[in-house]
Amino acid sequence: MPVALFDAEGKLAIDEALDRGEAVVLPTPSPLAYVVAAKTAAAVNLARERPHNHPVATWEPRFDRLAPHLALDEMERRRLGWLLAVERVSVLAPQARDAAAPSWIEPAASYGMALLFGVAWEPIAWLLERHAPLFVSSANRAGAPPAVDLRQAVADLGPEVWVLDGDSLRDRARPHAPTTTLRFVPGRGWEIHRRGIQDTLRATAGRGDYLADVLSRADAAFLRNQLPRRQDGRGGRHARRSRTSDRAGPVRLARSHRPRSGAS
């Protein structure tokens, strides 16, 4: 497997591989795992030795390109944008009934929901600026654990797949794993669809209710940006935390009673 360093020559190799339609393995920021990405879903699935039409995620960090094609009201769009860009989770979001939906959403869509991966990271900003939207999945063959460092990525994927070595840019002392995946279900609200590194780290630290916490932080971030600053320099009050279900199964967030601005 060819390995590209984070220098001009290595970046050029990754850039050219994507232009040729090949899949490449890319680092993402700690504590996330490596991912395999390409301009087509088929190339991602080929690298992972899966059927060519297996669902993948759409990787588009420019949220303004995603938002018009999602069936979310304004408040939930704000939350989603923060969840993708800041919390760096993956999200299953409801699609709008849009006959003009772009082709780069379709491979990530199933049963009216689109799987979104919005991670933006300065070391790979040059690549995303040039190639996004991409299709993305975890960097491993089916049934194997996701690659969390260069050694695992090289050992697990085929010898023809370029790997961008980002180990030196990541905190290798920390545990790494794929992202937590959240989903928004109209009529039910936010749920945890798949456990991942974000909620695992919170549980390991002995803190509960990841979903309520992350949505509270999303709302608080928006309030800090929108409310007038007081003279003492502090922002307004924190957003009220939402309740979640304690039952087994998907973790659910009760619907907010705040006025909605209208569905998309």
CATH code, 3-197: 3.90.870.10
Q: CB neighbours of 101 closer than 8 A, spacing ≥ 6?
A: 69, 95
Name the 3-class secondary structure at 157.
coil
The residues that bridge with 59 in the sheet, in sequence order, are 117, 134
| Domain ranges, ordered by start, for the chain | 3-197
- The tens-digit pLDDT sequence of the chain (264 residues) is 799 999 999 999 999 999 999 999 999 999 999 999 999 999 999 999 999 989 999 999 999 999 999 999 999 999 999 999 999 999 999 999 876 788 899 999 999 999 999 999 999 999 999 999 999 999 998 788 899 999 999 988 878 899 999 999 999 889 999 999 999 999 999 999 999 999 999 998 888 799 999 999 999 998 887 655 544 444 444 444 443 333 334 333 334 334 344 433
Angle of helix 210-226 relative to helix 197-204, nearest 10 degrees, comes to 110
For residue 84, the one-letter residue type is L
Q: Whole-angstrom Cα distance, residue 171 to residue 184?
A: 31
Taking phi over 0 as left and psi of -120 to 50 as alpha, with beta for the rest, 103 belongs to alpha
